[in-house]
Structure 1
Amino acid sequence: MATTKTGAPLDRGTLDTLLRRRLFYTPSFEMYGGVSGLYDYGPPGCALQQSIVDTWRKHFVLEEDMLEVDCTMLTPHEVLKTSGHVDKFADWMCKDPKSGEIFRADHLVEEVLEARLKGDKEARGEKVAVEEEDADKKKRKKKVKDIQVVKLTDEVRKEYEETLAKIDNYDGAELGELIIKHKITNPATGGALEPPVAFNLMFQTSIGPSSNLPGYLRPETAQGQFLTFNKLLEFNNLRMPFASASIGKSFRNEISPRSGLLRVREFLMAEIEHFVDPAEKKHPRFVEVADSVSLKFLPRNVQEQGQTTIVEKTIGEAVREGMVDNETLGYFLARIQLFLKEIGIDQNKVRFRQHMPNEMAHYATDCWDAELLTSYGWIECVGCADRSAYDLTVHSKKTGQSLIVREALEVPKVWEQWDIVVDKKWLGPRFKKDAKKVEEAIEKVPQEEREKMAATLKEGGKITVKVDGLGEVELDKVTVEKNQHTQNVREYTPNVIEPSFGIGRIFYSLIEHIYWTRPGSELRDVLSFPPRIAPTKILIVPLSSNKDFAPLVTALSHKIRRAGVSNRVDNSSTSIGKRYSRNDELGTPFGITIDFQTVKDGTVTLRERDGMKQIRASQEQVIEVVKGILEDNGTWEEALEKYGEFQGQELDE
């Protein structure tokens, strides 16, 4: 059951109404009926998003000394063909041939099985959380075939639970089998569904007026960073390891967007590409987090057993035991956890789930998702993948340009090996277009086999090599000899550890985690953003419309802005209590009241959002208190202790 910050049941409908009414976000093109999966951010939404991004930039880019880049969103077809996205960046969809309605197959299976389990609980008399549903889901519930209250057998219930635990691991054929086995149909019409087919998620376009250069809106920010690797390495004075970072829009043509901001077609991403020596994936700062940061893991082997049991341990233990592959991957998982904590994410609603083989991206060798618990269930908000050397390798092979690191060895490496020397004047005319293929086959001959070849040639025999498409090929004009080699420079293709953040998903999950309702005669909604993350830091309210207050309000607002703190003025005619309540909905952490005492001596009251307690001090002291809290150089409790709680003014709260 999803809950608010205070543990009360979360009413998603009420929260969504609040967010739209206060213009955190709104459906795009609403006057024209809207387009699913597209949203606009209003003033508080923009400010909140920017606060999250600023915190991310300080937490990662500045603290880790990363190289930030801003790459184009338009990407040529050839680039994404090489990276594998054209062929493999897809989800499974199934269609109702009668109605034409299209579903994302894994989501449909998940939704139906969860609904049946919920109906089973109701039939057994168990308490079931009632949550507000989005409009799309309501439409799909015209027919109640899959959500009626029906008891399931223990065997069926267990099978459903195991299927849901492994839902991300099924491919298209397996999802099709599940749909048939569990008699899943179109929830709205009961119509039969066609087998799942792959649907590429990229938006296709043409670059230039002639439309001769096909392209796509990028599905991730990573490819631009890989293609500038050589320039970034040179900018970094050829030092390894290093990381690049990029913040920008990406696009995915979702099959059936739903869940508000959690599944959209245009979204902000913040991605890091940490380039590391494949032979040395230790991290110099791993010791800082190894024993001090504990994470809640959902490993692959647990999911494969159809379970969701959490394993909690320090990141140091996880790396030492091999559950997390290496120190660099582990270091970033810990840093992700610390970032989420810093922006206000409820630490009891965070887990790190390891990808299972079938759901792994085509470029990844291992991947962990930071998932956040919301009223929609566990939502992937950050992915942290080991992309190995995949991207640099394929782009290098396609373009013929070297994407490697060259490092001078302190002690030269000396060794002996058998070399096969081919007469190129014989090779070309003899094999023509297949000459390159023969040469590559020769290069792959192992050392022990080369030694045998040398002995055969010495005895006057013939040697052959197996070539794909040509079979055994006799080598006439070759020599095999043992030579001493000296290596002064080591060459390698870096591996990449990639943390990838979905800012919109973090944005929404954070709001659910810090939302609560203040009890009293009239329930009032509060968004308890950490002060540094809050869209606006200070609300200025004059006690009344008295003309003596106006110049004081203007001067104080300017003074606060010069101090680098965002503020807004509410001089409406409603009571101060209601004005503060309105801004509690916006998450404004502090409020300053200008009253008749301010006219006399310049002092003001400072009110803190969550506890509604106040202090009275000079304007400079109040600004200093707020700045100290925003910069982690002080706390509200310390301010209360220093100045004492002010109770001399009724705020009608």
Structure 2
Amino acid sequence: MATVTTKTGQAVDRLVLDSMLRRRMFYTPSFEIYGGVSGLYDYGPPGTALIANLTDLWRKHFVLEEDMLEVDTTMLTPHEILKTSGHVDKFADWMCKDPKTGEIFRADHLVEEVLEARLKGDKEARGQKVVVDEEKEAKKKKKAAKETKAVKLDDAVVKEYEEVLAQIDNYGGPELEEIITKYDIRNPTTDGKVQPPVSFNLMFQTSIGPSSNMPGYLRPETAQGQFLNFQKLLEFNQQSMPFASAAIGKSFRNEISPRAGLLRVRWQEAPRFAGVKDVEMSLLNRDVQLSGSTEVTKMTIGKAVETGLVDNETLGYFLVRIQQYLLKLGVDPTKLRFRQHMANEMAHYATDCWDAELQTSYGWIECVGCADRSAYDLTVHKNKTGAPLVVRETRAEPLRIEEWQVDIEKKKFGPRFKKDSKTVEAAVDALSQELREKLSLDLEQSGKIEIDVEGVGSGKIELEKDLIKIEKRTRVENVREYTPNVIEPSFGIGRILYSMIEHVYWSRAGDEARGVLSFPPVIAPTKVLLVPLSTHQSFKPLTERLSSKLRRLGVSSRVDDSSASIGKRYARNDELGTPFGVTVDFQSVKDSTFTLRDRDSTKQVRAGEEDILNALKSLVEGDETWEDVRQRLPEFTGQDVE
């Protein structure tokens, strides 16, 4: 467990925060009246509104600002597509099982949990301060678990553990098995031994159609639908490159042992790179991780691309855009880093990949992946189907190419090889330029050549001069044809949501039970709380008028006219992250002036109705800050709402 503090320096109490989020129905366990299912959650009204606002900001930040083509593709995917893409064979994690209890663990997470617990015990034994994970301790006691003992470890063992944890994402099944054996990693709850790790495919399998004769899967990623529609998107974009497509939707992964709340519910030159090249980023590269360290390097993205740390400008550009988006959500920049995938961790389709990770009380959480998929996906689907998933561009100047070309005498070729003729012809077409040059000499000297053809006869066949001709010729290319490379940023909304909530959560000094969620106004579920001072009938018309005008301005509001004190009403809406409050009082009835309250500072200003409404609109849309409003509207101190 990581020790994470709020902006007021308090340690994040995950139990208190989680209780508040469930009580205020940001989210709730799915099927709870039936006992619930681990890892499945439903979002309540504020959670749903928050996700909608996150998505809306994402759409503006990426789709609109980057001129992306948005698509919505099906969630069901036939087996053949995911077999071709490599997901059927390679989309897997390593799991291990406690044979006595049947409990399943993701192997790398089990290693992390046990080694981190031992390091915690070592710190306790050395008299160092340790923040207790109360949630985990409560679960252990409930299950009569063996508690972590405060045992001092040798310095060399501590160093080994830290190095293993730094490299944990680079280990495959054999390495994890070796670590589990070497350090006697056991079930943390029962202390029982676990079986060696085995590969577990993360996709949900299903059948498509009523006859169940077409095997398929719930999509593990939203990307494949975009690759398969590449040719149509290119045509829609008037054959212009580069272009970007985007998709918003659920992907489905059968996570191993889901236990962490919402965390586990997923070109080479950039024209706009010059505008972001001086943006500084916190980068954790693979070499540092392999050395057993997790120390980040701060550098500009321009320097990272120039030195080859980040693969290319397009990848670098989107890493910056991801960072900018996360900061707009209110993410703490000191708790944000970009970690490069190590060789064994890299997805089968990626040539480089960086994860935007956010630090939380669970540790560093991967929230956004940004992969350079090169031309992998388009190439495999093109090869499988023959569909022209390529770009054709007219060259400004014709390109003259000297090459060795092969002519086949098809009238003789068919009768000679019969059913194998296509296989032999494909083998001939696949001959490299170097081999064609050599074979042309053999053909001239001996009148025949020998080539390798897998699956035909002995694997070698002879071709005589009357069947084949190999000559050096000049070919003129007026059109350039190529398969483009793809950069894929992929956002996990549930993970971003929870991590961001931890970053904006804090409590009032001297009142730790009173939580505040400092959502930026643009993503807050409700923007304005309308608070009549009392239930006096004269306030109702004013409240209704304000509510109506705010709706017309596109600003979401909520009325709290309960009998609770005005301070309590504001306090419970601070828990919901409502950034602004408008109080309707007896002075409002006289002159249509209202107080406007800021959630974080609790400061207030007072002005006429139109000034208040204009201020709210500009605050919510990000055109002004609270300090801007305070500078131009009179401060109000005559009412204690705390």
Per the shorter chain, which TM-score range?
over 0.9
Matching of residues 264-413 of structure 1 within 5 Å: 264=265, 276=267, 281-291=268-278, 293-413=279-399
Q: Which moved more, 1:607-616 or 1:185-194?
A: 185-194
Deviations 1:219-238 (A, max 9, x none): 11111111111111111001
CA distance in 2, matches of 1:478, 1:142: 79
**What SS does the corresponding residue of 2:251 show, helix, strand or coil?**
strand
d(CA) in 2 for partners of 1:171, 1:490 = 41
Work out whether residues 140 and 189 of structure 2, in 8 Å CA contact, stay in contact via their aligned partners in 1: no
CA distance in 1 between partners of 2:119 and 2:136 (Å): 20
Q: Which runs of 4+ in 1 moved over 4 A?
A: 134-137
- What SS does structure 2 have at the residue aligned with 1:604? strand
Moved more, 327-336 or 78-87: 78-87
**Equivalent residue number for residue 38 of structure 2:** 36
**AA matched with 2:102:** G
2:302 & 2:548 partners in 1: Cα distance? 49
Secondary structure in structure 2 of the residue aligned to 1:209: coil
Alignment partner of 2:631 out of 641, 644, 649: 641
- Superposed, 1:366-515 pairs within 5 Å as 366-469=352-455, 470-476=458-464, 477-515=467-505
Cα pair distance change 1:580/1:98, threshold 3 Å = same
3-state secondary structure, aligned to 2:271: coil
Q: Name the CA shift for 1:315/1:358 in 2 (closer, same or farther; >3 Å).
A: same
Could you report, residue by residue, the CA deviation over 1:599-633 in whole angstroms, capped at 9, with x for unpaired residues? 10111100001111111111111111111122222
Distance 1:631 1:523, change over 3 A: same
Partner of 1:56: 58
Return the match for 2:600 from 589, 599, 610. Answer: 610
- Does the 8 A contact of 1:140 with 1:187 survive in 2? no
Aligned-partner Cα distance in 1 for 2:380–2:436: 29
Q: Which moved more, 1:391-400 or 1:33-42?
A: 391-400
Query: Structure 2-normalised TM-score?
Result: 0.96
Q: Which moved more, 1:392-401 or 1:601-610?
A: 392-401
Residue 567 (structure 2) pairs with residue 566 (structure 1): no
Report the CA distance between 1:134 and its aligned residue: 5.0
Counterpart Cα distance in 1 of 2:482 and 2:9: 52
Name the aligned partner's letter for residue 638 of structure 1: D
1:552 CA displacement: 1.2
Shift of 1:135: 8.5
Q: Quote the Cα distance in structure 1 between the aligned partners of 2:189 and 2:202.
A: 25
Alignment partner of 1:647: what SS?
Answer: coil
Cα distance in 2, alignment partners of residues 7 and 244 from structure 1:
42
Asked whether the 8 Å contact 1:537–1:590 carries over to 2, the reply is: yes
Corresponding position of 1:273: none
SS at structure 2 position matched to 1:600? helix
CA separation in 2, counterparts of 1:178 and 1:140? 29
Q: How much does 1:101 deviate? A: 1.2
Using structure 1 for the length normalisation, give the TM-score.
0.95
Match of 2:93 in 1: 91
State the match for 1:101 in structure 2.
103
- Return the alpha-carbon distance in structure 1 between the equivalents of residues 443 and 89 of structure 2: 47
- Aligned-partner residue type, residue 12 of structure 1: R
Query: In the superposition, relative to structure 1, how do residues 452 and 217 fare at CA in structure 2: closer, same or farther (>3 Å)?
Result: closer
CA contact (8 A) 1:10 1:131 kept: no
Alignment of 1:529-548 (within 5 A): 529-548=519-538
Q: How many residues are aligned here?
A: 636
Once the two structures are superposed, residues 19-48 of structure 1 have per-residue CA deviations (whole angstroms, 9 ceiling, x without a partner) of: 000000000000000011110001110111
Distance 1:418 1:75 in 2: 42
Deviations 1:438-458 (A, max 9, x none): 333323333343333333333
Task: Give the deviation of 1:554 after TM superposition.
Answer: 1.1
Q: Provide the rounded CA distance (Å) in 1 between the counterparts of 2:80 and 2:141.
A: 40
Q: Deviations over 1:300-321 (max 9, x none)?
A: 1111111111111000000000
SS in 1 for 2:244: strand
Q: Which runs of 5+ in 1 are unaligned?
A: 270-275
Find the aligned partners of 2:95 and 2:169 in 1 and give their Cα distance: 14
Deviations 1:327-351 (A, max 9, x none): 0000000100111111110000000
**1:81 Cα deviation after fit:** 1.4
- Residues 567, 411 of structure 1: alpha-carbon distance in 2 compared, 3 angstrom cutoff: same
* Structure 2 partner of 1:579: 569
1:17 Cα deviation from its structure 2 partner: 0.3
Task: Write the letter of the residue equivalent to 2:402.
Answer: E
Measured in 2, the distance between the counterparts of 1:136 and 1:75 equals 41
The offset of 1:461, in angstroms, is 4.1
State the 1:7 CA deviation. Answer: 1.9
Find the counterpart in structure 2 of residue 263 from structure 1.
264
- Measure, in 2, the Cα distance between the counterparts of 1:522 and 1:2: 16
1:162 Cα deviation after fit: 0.7
1:68 is aligned to 70
1-side partners of 2:511 and 2:437: how far apart? 91
Range with greater deviation from structure 2 (24-33 or 94-103): 94-103
Structure 1 pair 303–522 and aligned structure 2 pair: CA distance change class (3 A):
closer
CA distances 1:494-553 after superposition (whole Å, capped 9, x unpaired): 111000000110000010000001013674211011111111000000011111111111
CA shift in 2, pair 1:521/1:35, >3 Å: closer
| RMSD, aligned CA | 1.6
- Structure 1 counterpart of 2:192, which letter? G
Identity of aligned residues (%): 67
SS in 1 for 2:67: coil
Which SS does the other structure have where 2:135 is aligned? coil
Change (3 A) 1:471 1:74: closer
Q: Is the 8 A contact 2:146 2:190 kept in 1?
A: no
Shift of 1:98: 1.6
Runs of 5+ in structure 2 lacking a partner? none
CA distance in structure 1 between the partners assigned to 2:216 and 2:636 by the alignment = 63
State the alpha-carbon separation in 1 of the partners of residues 601 and 243 from structure 2. 44
Deviation at 1:426, TM superposition (A): 3.3
Q: Which amino acid aligns with 2:7?
A: K
Shift of 1:208: 1.6
- Residue of 9, 12, 20 corresponding to 2:11: 9
Distance 2:320 2:440 in 1: 54
* Secondary structure, counterpart of 1:242 in structure 2: coil
The aligned residue for residue 200 of structure 2 is 199
Q: Secondary structure, in 3 states, of the residue corresponding to 1:488?
A: strand
